[in-house]
């Protein structure tokens, strides 16, 4: 038996999951269901080693083929650097085929580590850090109670880059709502241009039905954005990002409407802008039809699919039906489809 946490990045789907802490030490972000209702705790090095021994036994027949490991849960670097080094070392002894070890970390935690500590971790094998940045806007960060400032994001991110580690920054178009959309795009791009991470991973915002953000919608503080508005926000973001050697990725997360907007900014920025423009040039009916076919399955479709008249003849009555009694009916339906893809809280206690 060994413990495992509830989430890991999609790029770590094949990785050995080693739980070094439980849940999230911050746990206050109002959009995030993952750890609500469950408490944070540190695990001892001995406990983690016991888990690694058990995994070694369970995976004995193919343990040398396992190439990557991910340290869970939300902010592993809160542990003492010497403890993480001991865990990494032990993992590599037991799984000698490992080529990559990665983890999540909060910007404030990275800020507290010295570059020398991060270099030590990198040399030991922790070669990539995944950071949930969400937004570069101070106002948006405050509204979502992220508990970090733009300065924390830049300082923490730059330290990782300086230490020679690979850095993945996760951002959330739409999380500022309609009123802060431009600010969310421009401020996020401004910070990313300073940090120059290896990856920018796009996580289009979707609201969990239990999220306290519902209250902000009810009192009019937060206005949710439709797909066309979020595509416009992503366009402004891509336009503002420098042509740096950073991989901009919509392709690894199906809540992103246009998953083909994916590639190195110094190679494919013009292509990515042209795909975003292609969608924005569609009629409002075609945009809704595209959103409906994309969000009703995990299939990807070229934008041109909605120029097919026969397809539109089938889809338009469905859209009309959704809007018959409520002009917002289509938007609400898409919001519900999007929320199905979010992780569920582990308890009903999300206040
Ligand atoms: S988004 Fe990250 S930091 Fe915020 S509560 Fe969720 S896991 Fe914790």
pTM: 0.96
Task: Give the CATH number for residue 179.
Answer: 3.80.30.20
Ligand 1 atom, smallest distance to 134 CA: 1
299 class by beta-carbon count within 10 Å (0-12 exposed, 13-18 middle, 19+ buried): exposed
Domain-embedded: residue 344: no
Question: Considering only CA atoms, which residue is closest to atom 5 of ligand 1?
Answer: 27
Residue 351: per-residue pLDDT: 63
Do β-strands 21-22 and 41-42 pair in parallel, antiparallel, or remain unpaired? antiparallel
Question: Considering only CA atoms, which residue is closest to atom 6 of ligand 1?
Answer: 32
d(CA 97, CA 63): 8
d(CA 324, CA 19): 49
User: Could you tell me if the CB of 172 is within 6 A of ligand 1?
Assistant: no
Compute, in angstroms, the gap from residue 318 CA to the centroid of ligand 1. 37
Domain-embedded: residue 72: yes
Exposure of 215 in the CB half-sphere (CA atoms within 13 A): 8
Q: Is 214 helix (H, G, I), strand (E, B) or coil?
A: helix
Q: Is a pLDDT exceeding 70 seen at residue 59?
A: yes
Strand ranges for the chain from DSSP E = 16-19, 21-22, 41-42, 68-72, 100-104, 126-134, 166-171, 199-202, 247-249, 262-264
Domain-embedded: residue 303: yes
User: Could you tell me if the CB of 133 is within 6 A of ligand 1?
Assistant: no
d(CA 246, CA 254): 21
Domain-embedded: residue 22: yes
Task: Give residue-wise pLDDT tens across range 266-308.
Answer: 999 999 999 999 999 999 999 999 999 999 887 888 999 999 9
Domain-embedded: residue 73: yes
Structure tokens belonging to residue 308: 């097919």
Q: Are 203 and 10 in contact (CB under 8 A)?
A: no
User: Could you tell me if the CB of 78 is within 6 A of ligand 1?
Assistant: no
Compute, in angstroms, the gap from residue 153 CA to the centroid of ligand 1. 14
Ligand 1 test: best mutation among 5, 22, 24, most atoms within 8 Å of CB?
24
Q: Are 322 and 13 in contact (CB under 8 A)?
A: no
Mean pLDDT of 302-330: 95
Q: Is a pLDDT exceeding 90 seen at residue 348?
A: no
User: Which residue segment(s) compose the domain that 252 sits in?
Assistant: 10-339
Q: Are 19 and 76 in contact (CB under 8 A)?
A: no
Q: Is 330 helix (H, G, I), strand (E, B) or coil?
A: helix
Ligand 1 test: best mutation among 9, 25, 27, most atoms within 8 Å of CB?
27
User: Could you tell me if the CB of 106 is within 6 A of ligand 1?
Assistant: yes
Number of domains in the chain: 1
User: Could you tell me if the CB of 8 is within 6 A of ligand 1?
Assistant: no
Domain-embedded: residue 348: no
Domain-embedded: residue 350: no
Task: Give residue-wise pLDDT tens across range 170-179.
Answer: 999 999 999 9
Domain-embedded: residue 246: yes
């Amino acid at each position: 038996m060994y413990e495992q946490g509830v989430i890991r990045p999609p790029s770590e789907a094949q990785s050995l999951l080693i739980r070094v802490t439980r849940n999230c030490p911050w746990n206050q972000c109002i959009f995030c269901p993952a750890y609500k209702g469950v408490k944070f705790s540190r695990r001892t090095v001995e406990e983690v080693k016991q888990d690694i021994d058990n995994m070694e036994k369970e995976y004995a027949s193919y343990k040398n083929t396992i190439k990557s490991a991910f340290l869970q849960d939300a902010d592993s670097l809160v542990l003492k650097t010497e403890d993480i080094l001991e865990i990494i070392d032990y993992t590599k002894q037991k799984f000698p085929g490992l080529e990559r070890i990665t983890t999540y970390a909060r910007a404030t935690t990275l800020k507290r580590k010295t570059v020398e500590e991060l270099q030590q971790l990198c040399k030991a094998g922790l070669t990539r850090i995944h950071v949930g940045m969400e937004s570069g806007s101070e106002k948006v960060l405050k509204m979502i109670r992220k508990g970090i400032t733009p300065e924390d994001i830049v300082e923490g991110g730059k330290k990782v880059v300086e230490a020679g580690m690979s850095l993945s920054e996760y951002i959330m178009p739409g999380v500022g709502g309609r009123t802060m959309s431009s600010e969310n795009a421009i401020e996020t791009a401004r910070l990313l241009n300073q940090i120059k991470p290896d990856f920018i991973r796009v996580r289009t915002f979707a609201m969990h039905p239990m999220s306290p953000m519902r209250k902000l919608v009810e009192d009019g503080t937060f206005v949710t954005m439709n797909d066309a508005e979020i595509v416009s926000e992503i366009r402004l973001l891509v336009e503002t990002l420098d042509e740096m050697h950073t991989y901009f990725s919509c392709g690894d997360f199906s809540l992103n409407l246009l998953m083909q907007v994916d590639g190195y900014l110094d190679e494919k920025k013009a292509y990515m802008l042209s795909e975003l423009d292609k969608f924005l040039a569609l009629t409002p009916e075609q945009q809704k039809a595209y959103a409906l076919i994309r969000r009703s399955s995990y299939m990807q479709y070229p934008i041109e699919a909605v120029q097919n008249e026969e397809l539109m003849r089938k889809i338009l009555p469905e859209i009309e039906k959704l809007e018959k009694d409520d002009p917002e009916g289509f938007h609400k339906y898409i919001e519900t489809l999007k929320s199905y893809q979010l992780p569920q809280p582990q308890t009903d206690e999300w206040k």
